[in-house]
Structure 1
Amino acid sequence: MILNNHHKLYLSHALTSWVDRSFEFASYLLISKIYTSSLLQSSVYGLTTTLAALVLSNQIGNWINILSRLNTYRVTLLVQKISIVVSTVLFYYLFVLNTNNNDGNVKDSSRTLHGSSNGLYAVIIVLGCTLKLSFIGNSIAIEKDWAFIISEGHLEVLLPTMRRIDLVCKTVSPIFVGFLLAAPSHLIATIVICAWTTVSAVVEYILVSQIHNDVPALHSRTPYTPPTPTTSATPTESEHQEQEEEASAPVSLREYIHHKTFLITLSVGMLYINVLSFGGTMTSYLTMIGYSNSLLGIMKAVAGIMGVAGTYAQPLLSKRIGNVRTGLWSIWQLSLTLSLVLIAIANKAHDTPTTTSVLLFGGVAASRLGLWMFDLAESLILQEYTSSSHITSITGWQYSMCNLFDLLQYVLTIVWSDPAIFVVPASISVGVVVAAAGVYTGFVWKDRGHLLHHIKLK
């Protein structure tokens, strides 16, 4: 079977997503196993990595515009895989070190062990920063630039498929990691993750190199214009020069704030102040209150299935009411379902364990439907409303916006790090998500002049 460029891109994206989602879930599980009494350590890890992304995301977007496409991919791939392999080894050593310390099986003094533990954890945090930055660079390059060129500007099929691949990896990898970490020895998990990461890096590089060789448009750094009947196939030298100058001019913060997509990206960013997902913070919280790794893996898989369903529902709904109004319906669905999760946490002491678990896991899973519908609708709107010469820079600013609000999520759980008062950051999260829905509603009103439209769903 010969793979075309779309299939090669899908396979490469699947490998990247699998490794990243597996390590993301494993890292927070390991942190919660090593530091069992507080959310502080997992919050510091998330805070620091997000801060790095906040400060440098826009620079990464601009850097992608300067470096050749293949070299951009090479650098991000290499940094990403090395960061995962080294972090996995250090996590294993840190786990062994803390286990031996707790069991009294080492001769070192407590102070020496504590210093070694903190030093290793500091290195893991630094590697987490490089991993996050390389993943951002890879995502911007592949999803916003390469995909647009490979599809010749027609992202209606390619982008939803890539979203589904990402969600399938989110769905299956936590189950795999949950059972992997349940093994008697964490050495097995370390070997498997490191080996898979290495093999994945080789296959990904081969696939993307083949795509680069097959698509001549990827060889040039000039902004890509999809071919049309009225578009010249060979731009003149002066047109090339103008395109290169336009490509090298990044979008300033002032221009970004006044861009017509600003309110959309603001609403997306606000969704990141949300501890009520199966991200690192809530995974640590649920582990601390007694849920098993395997159960969390399964529940995260259910939530992922709902997200996959969202990627199928979004195109169907968009055909009826358009991307803008699809985004409106989906973000309000997200707000309502997260309210159920808040109710479960607030009434945990009074409701039965079954009622709490149904509301908690059911609410989070249902919210993934709205979240991924909104995410896909927003991506298509951003691509539609932004010129190809500005898309990577605008996306860089959006990543910075998202990381700013993601940073505040970790601030919440640093200030309220006791799992017993998790209801406080949970309440703030729901309030901000509702506010994000209000911001997006404002964009719809400004863009369309109305909120509801008389179109019957058939």
Structure 2
Amino acid sequence: MSNTSISRVDEVELVESRGSVGRPPSPAVAGPALETISTRLSKQNPEVSDSTRDTPPHSSTVTAEASTANSAGPLDRKALILLLIQHFSSSWGSRTAEFAIYLFLITLFPDSLLPASIFGFLTTGTAIVLSGWAGHQIDIRNNLRLVRFSIVAVKISACGAYAGSLILFYRLASDEQLTREWSTPLGGGMFALIVISGCIQNISGVALSVAIERDWVTVIAQGSSDHLTLINTYMRRIDLLCKLLAPLFVSLLTSVTSNIIAAYCLCGVEAGCVIFELLWIDIVYRRFPSLQAAQADKEIENRRQSQLRGSRPTPDLLVNLRTNLRSYFHNNLSDWREFTQHPIFLSSISISCLYFTVLAFDGTMISYLKSESYTDPFIAGMRGLNVVAGLLGTVAMPFLERKLGLVRAGNWSIWSEAICLLPVILSFYVGGSLPSAHGPTWKSALLFGGMMLSRIGLWAFDLCQLKELQLALATHPRRNAISALQYSLQNIADMLKYVLTMILSQPSQFRIAALTSFVSVVVGATTYLGYVRRERGHILHSDKIPLLRRRSE
């Protein structure tokens, strides 16, 4: 396909190329059709203005999706609401468990941070190793069944972690020394249960997220860029609200009642929500015919691939373990190779770099702030302001996309985050002392103000990158397996952050970790420039910059 992007395409030809069911065309159909249209347009209009071109010159998939942006019908409002309610329930459960389990571990083992560090390291490592496998299962298995299984697995594993914590809390109430030393048989056994449950919950959550947020959302949008932006934005806002409210809810529950009652309540909520989530997801699947049609297409493709390999459509993983393991590693390596060669890989590297940071209100940052005498209400207030700023980012992203185009909107967003983090770094290195509750007010203002403003760019870029990934892999036969590899990259960066904080464990060394985090953000933004150039053919409009215009002349 030529480098000339398609700026206008006849609607009649697009409707015909989409097929009778209104789904995005298959590569076999879309490719020749778009090639013919592109050739004809290039002959009629050989020069296309750079200012209007924001579609990738090397990506026919994104071009096809952008061309069909407004051809999909209206969304089923009831089904969309139920999808968002299910996502809220799932995100709420994940956020409460994420915060509560760490809180329980710190309470149970106050003399050592090692249990909490091991828990985070192993659960993150599990996601790194098995994310690709989880995505592959979404590609080859029945989607509805896998989503149901993932929902049940997430809820059961969360209940298992709460149950292990409850047993330790009861034993702690009867004999404080039994669980204060986490290496005792009881402490070690229950800690193992909590870790295993956390690993299962993490990988099941990855599968659920890839299946719904990457796969289902793309299918439901039916090639409409507006629909895709709308659904992604709503889901990200739900994630942010849960990120803000779930920890506050857990803190309120443990403060008003006790850790035991809080664990019982959280476990009961998880057990009760599983029934409703299964019901909601079934209704969503039935009310969106495109999901059923996509599943039928996938089954046909899987049968065709199985016939070519001379194997059954869905081989039993328990039969011939050695063959299955060899096949798993071969497929995983093949997916990684294809992922690294795909144009979207640079964009995935960019967002993964943003996960290698201590400049976020996670456990590491909160521990540092408490060591510098910041009060809990103040920290909670600053965290709330950061979430509000993140919500503003989800509002800004659709506006930026309309004004600048998707790729340029992502570029502006990630660089705005990097620029806003500059005052944060200055607060650690200017003025001698570290930011603290008893230090100069201007240092705290730089620290918290810069972090808050950076959240706008962070979440706007997150939405841009998510949509880029969805469009780039929309017609890929193994899009879920490859999408899951981005989770692996993000978890690798997250794990490296844990390694960094284990090395720089003293509060006085936090400034080094902060500087390293800022460098990682700049590296991510610079990498994204490579993606911008690859997709748009240039980074800056040379005709709009006098110096560059004279050189080109």
Whether TM-score is above 0.5 comes out as yes
Match of 2:455 among 368, 379, 392: 368
| Aligned equivalents of 1:341, 1:441: Cα separation in 2 | 23
1:285, distance to aligned residue in structure 2 (A): 3.6
Give the structure 2 partner of residue 441 of structure 1: 529
Letter in structure 2 aligned against 1:119: G
1:35, distance to aligned residue in structure 2 (A): 4.5
Letter in structure 1 aligned against 2:434: K
Conservation of the 8 A alpha-carbon contact between 1:149 and 1:224: no
Unaligned runs of 5+ in 2: 1-75, 315-330, 545-553
Letter in structure 2 aligned against 1:387: A
| Aligned equivalents of 1:183, 1:85: Cα separation in 2 | 22
Conservation of the 8 A alpha-carbon contact between 2:139 and 2:478: no
Secondary structure of 1:277's counterpart equals: coil
Secondary structure of 2:405's counterpart equals: helix
Change (3 A) 1:106 1:316: closer
Unaligned runs of 5+ in 1: 226-236
Give the structure 1 partner of residue 165 of structure 2: 91
Give the structure 2 partner of residue 164 of structure 1: 237
Conservation of the 8 A alpha-carbon contact between 1:179 and 1:293: no
Conservation of the 8 A alpha-carbon contact between 2:406 and 2:464: yes
| Aligned equivalents of 2:392, 2:531: Cα separation in 1 | 26
Spell out, residue by residue over 1:414-458, the C-alpha distance to the aligned partner (whole angstroms, 9 max, x if none).
Answer: 2223334222322221111111111111211222232234999xx
Give the structure 1 partner of residue 93 of structure 2: 19
Conservation of the 8 A alpha-carbon contact between 2:219 and 2:294: no
Give the structure 1 partner of residue 14 of structure 2: none
Conservation of the 8 A alpha-carbon contact between 1:54 and 1:400: yes
| Structure number with bigger Rg | 2
1:56, distance to aligned residue in structure 2 (A): 0.6
Match of 1:138 among 208, 213, 217: 208
Change (3 A) 1:110 1:260: closer
Give the structure 1 partner of residue 513 of structure 2: 425
Give the structure 1 partner of residue 327 of structure 2: none
1:370, distance to aligned residue in structure 2 (A): 1.0
Give the structure 1 partner of residue 11 of structure 2: none
Conservation of the 8 A alpha-carbon contact between 2:424 and 2:446: yes
Change (3 A) 1:112 1:192: closer
Give the structure 2 partner of residue 231 of structure 1: none
1:97, distance to aligned residue in structure 2 (A): 5.1
In terms of mean alpha carbon deviation, does 179-188 or 247-256 score higher? 247-256
Higher relative contact order (CA closer than 8 Å, sequence separation 6+): 1
Spell out, residue by residue over 1:331-380, the C-alpha distance to the aligned partner (whole angstroms, 9 max, x if none).
Answer: 11222233333344554268726444433333322222111100100011
Give the structure 2 partner of residue 272 of structure 1: 355
Conservation of the 8 A alpha-carbon contact between 1:58 and 1:396: yes
Runs of 4+ residues deviating >6 angstroms: 109-113, 237-240, 242-250
Superposed, 1:381-392 pairs within 5 Å as 381-388=468-475, 389-392=477-480
Change (3 A) 1:349 1:310: closer
Conservation of the 8 A alpha-carbon contact between 1:57 and 1:133: yes
Match of 1:203 among 260, 276, 284: 276
| Aligned equivalents of 1:31, 1:362: Cα separation in 2 | 31
| Aligned equivalents of 2:492, 2:369: Cα separation in 1 | 25
1:284, distance to aligned residue in structure 2 (A): 3.8
Give the structure 2 partner of residue 116 of structure 1: 186
1:41, distance to aligned residue in structure 2 (A): 3.8
Spell out, residue by residue over 1:106-139, the C-alpha distance to the aligned partner (whole angstroms, 9 max, x if none).
Answer: 5769868744334322322221111110110000
Question: Once the two structures are aligned, what percentage of the paired residues are identical?
Answer: 33
1:194, distance to aligned residue in structure 2 (A): 1.5
Letter in structure 2 aligned against 1:334: E
Give the structure 1 partner of residue 467 of structure 2: 380
Cα RMSD for the two superposed structures: 3.3
| Aligned equivalents of 2:249, 2:285: Cα separation in 1 | 32
In terms of mean alpha carbon deviation, does 432-441 or 386-395 score higher? 386-395
Number of matched pairs: 441
Give the structure 2 partner of residue 320 of structure 1: 403
| Aligned equivalents of 2:285, 2:79: Cα separation in 1 | 9
Spell out, residue by residue over 1:209-253, the C-alpha distance to the aligned partner (whole angstroms, 9 max, x if none).
Answer: 11222334434565869xxxxxxxxxxx89994899899988622
| Aligned equivalents of 2:440, 2:104: Cα separation in 1 | 25
1:314, distance to aligned residue in structure 2 (A): 0.5
| Aligned equivalents of 1:54, 1:290: Cα separation in 2 | 35
Give the structure 1 partner of residue 72 of structure 2: none
Give the structure 2 partner of residue 230 of structure 1: none
Normalising by structure 1, report the TM-score.
0.85
The answer as to 2:146 corresponding to 1:72 is yes
Change (3 A) 1:143 1:184: closer
Change (3 A) 1:316 1:284: same
Spell out, residue by residue over 1:299-343, the C-alpha distance to the aligned partner (whole angstroms, 9 max, x if none).
Answer: 322211111111110000110111111111111122223333334
Match of 1:415 among 500, 503, 521: 503
In terms of mean alpha carbon deviation, does 298-307 or 400-409 score higher? 298-307
| Aligned equivalents of 1:455, 1:383: Cα separation in 2 | 32
Spell out, residue by residue over 1:264-311, the C-alpha distance to the aligned partner (whole angstroms, 9 max, x if none).
Answer: 001111111112112233234434554455544433222111111111
